[in-house]
Amino acid sequence: MDKWEPKSRKEKFRQRALIVFALALMVWSALAIDVQWSTMGGLSALGDVIGSFFPPDLGYVPSLLQPAWETFEMAIVGTLAAVVMAVPVALISAKNITPSKTIAYPIGRAIIVVSRSIHEIIWALIFVAALGLGPFPGTLALGFRSIGFLGKLLAEEIEGIDEGQIEAMKACGANQAQIILFAVLPQIKPRIIGLTIYRWDINFRMSTVLGIVGAGGIGYEIQSAMQRFRYSQASSVILVILVMVAIGEIVSARLREQVT
């Protein structure tokens, strides 16, 4: 009699082996990070700490509006500056239109890798060390990380565009710059806008912690409140961040709807 099974025995075995392997990996990792069960008893203290955050000191909120607004501005300026820089980086990092595969392309890819592999916090530490405290180094940190993100995704988008439009512009006698203006940018424009909004959303959330390393914004407030053991003030900062991120989420969702 003919029989049909969705999965062969061999495949079933392979699947089970994979599950066993994953479990083994988990156990091994738990041992490797050296979980200290003995200190888990101290978890009851966590309750006390959390308790001291309540109620939030709402009288503190008005003095947070200025740093909150600063955070918002850092995200906008950092993101927009990054877009302006990321478009040329994407243009040289896309295989199909790069002016030179041996020089420009590796430079573009290197910019993307360096930008992406260094975290915002580390960028912020570097710029704070170089430029001092304040929102400017924080904005630079957001921008420098975003160039790689935007550059990489835009380069991928360019690699997927309709080459026929480029061919048509070439055939008209358009130069390289005109080909980019007429055949490349119109095709990636919606993606530029979409990614900018998305990245702004990320940067906005990220900029709330940059203050912890002294790079401006509302993060500094949480840092100073915690250091002074003013937990009820810290909780009002967290509350403000929560509201800000929620607003940011709504705004970016609305904007993205407009684009598509």
Distance CA 138, CA 128 (A): 8
Dig out the tokens for 60 from the structure. 């503190």
| Shortest reach from residue 101's CB to another protein, in Å | 15
Say whether residue 182 binds another protein (CB under 8 A). Answer: yes
Write down the least CB distance from residue 191 to another protein, Å.
11
Per CB under 8 A, 177 contacts another protein: yes
Using rule CB under 8 A, residue 170 touches another protein: yes
Q: Is 189 in the site for another protein (CB under 8 A)?
A: yes
From the CB of 150, what's the least distance to another protein, in Å?
20
Beta carbon of residue 78, minimum distance to another protein (angstroms, whole number): 26
Site string for another protein, 121-160 (x = CB under 8 A): ----------------------------------------
> Interface with another protein includes 11 (CB under 8 A)?
no
Nearest CB to another protein, comparing residues 187 and 224: 187
Residues at the interface with another protein (CB under 8 A)? 162, 164-165, 167-175, 177-178, 181-183, 186-187, 189
